[in-house]
């Protein structure tokens, strides 16, 4: 056992004069009945133990081991801001290889996503103006598919506005999230419009870190002429490393030379360092080594129980009447100490959810998955957390995983969790407009617990919505058919109206023609 503040343990020396005082007072105490004497003795003993445990709790006791941060990274949101201006098509993205700047930047982003786990990713693109293409999500496949799509097809265009690109990327972050906010700017640094300095100042004020990946070469390449570009002329594009360095330095980020072979590994190490700072403070892990975990809460609980016992024992008529509540408190202590690490992780994660610290809660739920008795509840907790982050599809997957884990138990066990999985799945389906799946989910919830009124109401609402949707589709189809018939009729009438008529023969006229 170790202590965070071992100096506080010197406070235990106060017990020396206390014990001396007890001995003197015991000798001078008047003759009391044996039962009352025992009550006073037990009350004093419990109170002394209460003081001792309080001092130990203040000292910060530790034992046991935590989890390595390499397994559970958390507390970081990353947005890739990718420049898709025309200059990004130039083939000087990597030294010694004919790779475009855009393709090189996309490759670095893909390799970084594979290396940095436990983070949320988003993507923004921009040339004349920027926009958020993929919002923050834990689904790495969505980001990788998007990066693949812009890496294999040329979508570049004229003009570059890095200020607009960074502003679009910063809109992905949520103000309620406690995660570290990081933008990875992938560009050659050339800007034709906008004021880059304004975006840097805004990010620094909002605590957003900008890591820059400068692609291209310092010598530059000529931008090829395009047949459809009337203003095309001989223009050289060079990497502006100074702009990229300034953006990184002003916001506390790092500058990466995109032409180096180790660019992605350097970027990954920098991003992992941000999450590591949070891990040290919240998971009791330092430098990748397991450290003893904080156990202050355990001593506080024991101290409160002993304080209550010291007060309660003097209020009973006999020691026999004290045995039952005292044994009950001992039982509570045993139950509390027998809680597995998985259940304690769930309790801590639930507390973090109530405080809005979703990223930290997700990390604890992921860690609880390693404990068999808590894995099903951890999957359910992940589903609730992802749903609160507007990740409905991923939440459905977690609810389904929780149901699969519950199959190892008998149907009568964990009925509440089974009900909650079905019920919450129905909520997600209903919000997505899939009323048929929502009705099925609510039916399964009622099979688990037929007494739940909220499930019955939502089932009826799903069936009503399904009927309304079906009638709307039929009505829309019927109106479309009526419009088609009316259109055909009007077209026929117009054709008949404007159809050429045959000329009638002129009358015979034998008079003068003037």
Query: What is the per-residue pLDDT for 96?
Result: 64
Indicate whether 157 pLDDT > 80: no
CATH of the domain at 173: 3.40.50.410
Query: What is the per-residue pLDDT for 81?
Result: 93
- With bands split at pLDDT 50, 70 and 90, how would you rate the model's confidence at 289? very low
Indicate whether 146 pLDDT > 70: yes
Structural tokens at position 421: 């999985």
- Answer yes or no: do 128 and 153 share one domain: yes
CA-to-CA separations, 501 to 493, 496, 498, in angstroms, rounded:
15, 10, 9
Angle at which helices 296-312 and 34-59 cross, to 10°? 160
Query: What is the per-residue pLDDT for 300?
Result: 82
Q: Does residue 139 form part of some domain?
A: yes
- With bands split at pLDDT 50, 70 and 90, how would you rate the model's confidence at 425? very high
**What is the rounded average pLDDT of the residues 169-175?**
87
How crowded is residue 161: how many other Cβ atoms within 10 Å of its Cβ? 23
**What is the rounded average pLDDT of the residues 397-413?**
86
- Answer yes or no: do 142 and 9 share one domain: no
Indicate whether 291 pLDDT > 60: no
Q: Does residue 496 form part of some domain?
A: no
Pairing type for strands 209-214 and 180-187 reads: parallel
Query: What is the per-residue pLDDT for 486?
Result: 63
Q: What is the pTM of this model?
A: 0.45
- Answer yes or no: do 96 and 12 share one domain: no
Query: What is the per-residue pLDDT for 372?
Result: 80
Q: Does residue 143 form part of some domain?
A: yes
pLDDT > 90 in the chain, percent: 10
Q: With CA atoms as reference, report the closest residue to 164 among 143, 191, 141, 204.
A: 191
- Answer yes or no: do 24 and 99 share one domain: no
Burial of 389 (0-12, 13-18, 19+ CB in 10 A): buried
- Answer yes or no: do 92 and 15 share one domain: no
- Bigger pLDDT: 482 or 175? 175
3-class secondary structure, 237: strand
Q: Does residue 148 form part of some domain?
A: yes
Q: Does residue 184 form part of some domain?
A: yes
Query: What is the per-residue pLDDT for 109?
Result: 92
Query: What is the per-residue pLDDT for 71?
Result: 37
Query: What is the per-residue pLDDT for 101?
Result: 87
Domain containing 313: what range?
2-29+50-63+295-336
**What is the rounded average pLDDT of the residues 436-465?**
88
Indicate whether 375 pLDDT > 60: yes
Beta-bridge partners for 47: none
Indicate whether 507 pLDDT > 80: no
- Answer yes or no: do 125 and 203 share one domain: yes
Query: What is the per-residue pLDDT for 489?
Result: 60
Query: What is the per-residue pLDDT for 79?
Result: 94
- Answer yes or no: do 216 and 250 share one domain: yes
3-class secondary structure, 63: strand
User: How far, in whole angstroms, is CA 285 from its chain's centroid?
Assistant: 21
Count of structural domains within the chain = 2
Indicate whether 317 pLDDT > 80: no
Are 379 and 402 in contact by the 8 Å Cβ rule? The answer is: yes
pLDDT > 70 in the chain, percent: 73
Highest mean pLDDT among 4-18, 143-157, 198-212: 198-212
Indicate whether 184 pLDDT > 90: yes
- Listed range (418-422, 464-468, 470-474) with the worst mean pLDDT: 470-474
- Listed range (306-310, 312-316, 342-346) with the worst mean pLDDT: 312-316
Q: Does residue 471 form part of some domain?
A: no
- With bands split at pLDDT 50, 70 and 90, how would you rate the model's confidence at 311? confident
- Listed range (1-5, 42-46, 94-98, 327-331) with the worst mean pLDDT: 327-331
- Answer yes or no: do 132 and 275 share one domain: yes
Q: Nearest 5°: phi and psi at 255?
A: -100, 130
Q: With CA atoms as reference, report the closest residue to 445 among 430, 433, 464.
A: 430
Structural tokens at position 390: 């507007």
Indicate whether 182 pLDDT > 90: yes
Structural tokens at position 382: 């992940």
- Answer yes or no: do 174 and 109 share one domain: yes
- Answer yes or no: do 126 and 177 share one domain: yes
d(CA 109, CA 258) in angstroms, rounded, equals: 11
Q: Does residue 443 form part of some domain?
A: no
Query: What is the per-residue pLDDT for 89?
Result: 83
- With bands split at pLDDT 50, 70 and 90, how would you rate the model's confidence at 492? low
Structural tokens at position 242: 């100074």
**What is the rounded average pLDDT of the residues 182-207?**
86
Q: Of 269, 304, 336, which one is at a domain's C-terminal end?
A: 336
- Answer yes or no: do 190 and 212 share one domain: yes
d(CA 185, CA 408) in angstroms, rounded, equals: 47
- Answer yes or no: do 119 and 264 share one domain: yes
Indicate whether 279 pLDDT > 60: no
**If you average pLDDT over every residue of the chain, what do you get?**
77
Query: What is the per-residue pLDDT for 208?
Result: 92
* Three-class DSSP labels, 303-327: HHHHHHHHHHHHHCCCHHHHHHHHH
Are 320 and 100 in contact by the 8 Å Cβ rule? The answer is: no
User: How far, in whole angstroms, is CA 501 from its chain's centroid?
Assistant: 74
**What is the rounded average pLDDT of the residues 83-108?**
82
State the alpha helices, DSSP H only, in 252-391: 263-282, 296-312, 319-337, 341-354, 358-368, 375-388
Q: Does residue 464 form part of some domain?
A: no
Query: What is the per-residue pLDDT for 11?
Result: 86
Q: Of 261, 283, 305, which one is at a domain's C-terminal end?
A: 283
């Amino acid at each position: 056992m170790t202590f965070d503040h071992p100096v506080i343990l010197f406070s235990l020396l106060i017990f020396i004069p206390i014990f001396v005082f007890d001995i003197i007072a015991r000798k001078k105490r008047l003759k009391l009945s044996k039962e009352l004497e025992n009550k006073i003795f037990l009350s004093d003993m419990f109170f002394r133990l209460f003081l001792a445990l309080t001092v130990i709790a203040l000292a910060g006791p530790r034992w046991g081991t935590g989890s390595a941060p390499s397994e559970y990274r958390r507390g970081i949101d990353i947005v890739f801001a990718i420049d898709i201006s025309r200059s990004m098509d130039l083939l000087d993205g990597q030294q010694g290889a004919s790779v475009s700047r855009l393709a090189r930047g996309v490759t670095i982003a893909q390799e970084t996503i594979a290396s940095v786990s436990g983070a949320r990713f988003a993507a923004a693109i921009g040339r004349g103006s920027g926009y958020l293409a993929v919002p923050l999500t834990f689904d790495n496949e969505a980001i990788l598919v998007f990066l693949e799509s812009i890496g294999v097809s040329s979508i570049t265009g004229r003009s570059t506005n890095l200020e607009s690109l960074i502003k679009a990327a910063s809109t992905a972050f949520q103000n309620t999230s406690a995660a570290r906010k990081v933008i990875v700017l992938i560009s050659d640094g050339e800007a034709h419009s906008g004021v880059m300095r304004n975006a840097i100042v805004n990010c620094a004020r909002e605590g957003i870190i900008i890591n820059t990946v400068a692609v291209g070469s310092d010598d530059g390449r000529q931008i090829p002429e395009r047949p459809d570009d009337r203003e095309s002329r001989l223009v050289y594009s060079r990497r502006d490393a100074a702009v990229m360095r300034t953006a990184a330095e002003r916001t506390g980020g790092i500058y990466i030379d995109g032409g180096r072979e180790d660019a992605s590994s350097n970027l990954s190490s920098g991003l992992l360092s941000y999450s590591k700072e949070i891990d040290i403070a919240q998971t009791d892990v330092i430098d990748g080594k397991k450290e003893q975990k904080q156990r202050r809460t355990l001593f506080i609980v024991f101290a409160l129980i002993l304080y209550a016992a010291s007060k309660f024992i003097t209020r009973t008529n006999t020691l026999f009447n004290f045995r039952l509540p005292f044994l009950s408190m001992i039982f509570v202590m045993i139950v509390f100490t027998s809680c597995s690490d998985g259940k304690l992780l769930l309790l801590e994660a639930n507390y973090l959810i109530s405080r809005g610290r979703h990223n930290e809660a997700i990390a604890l739920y992921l860690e609880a998955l390693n404990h068999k008795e808590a894995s099903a509840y951890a999957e359910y907790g992940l589903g609730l957390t992802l749903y609160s982050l507007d990740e409905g599809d991923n939440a459905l997957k977690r609810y389904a995983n929780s149901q699969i884990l519950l199959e190892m138990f008998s149907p009568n066990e964990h009925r509440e969790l089974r009900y909650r999985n079905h019920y919450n799945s129905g909520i997600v389906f209903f919000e997505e407009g899939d009323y048929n799946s929502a009705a099925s989910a609510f039916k399964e919830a009622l099979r688990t617990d037929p007494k739940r009124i909220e499930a019955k109401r939502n089932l009826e609402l799903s069936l009503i919505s399904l009927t309304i949707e079906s009638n709307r589709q039929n009505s829309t189809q019927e109106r479309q058919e009526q419009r088609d018939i009316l259109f055909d009729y009007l077209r026929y009438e117009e054709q008949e109206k404007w159809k050429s008529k045959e000329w009638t023969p002129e009358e015979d006229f034998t008079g003068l023609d003037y």
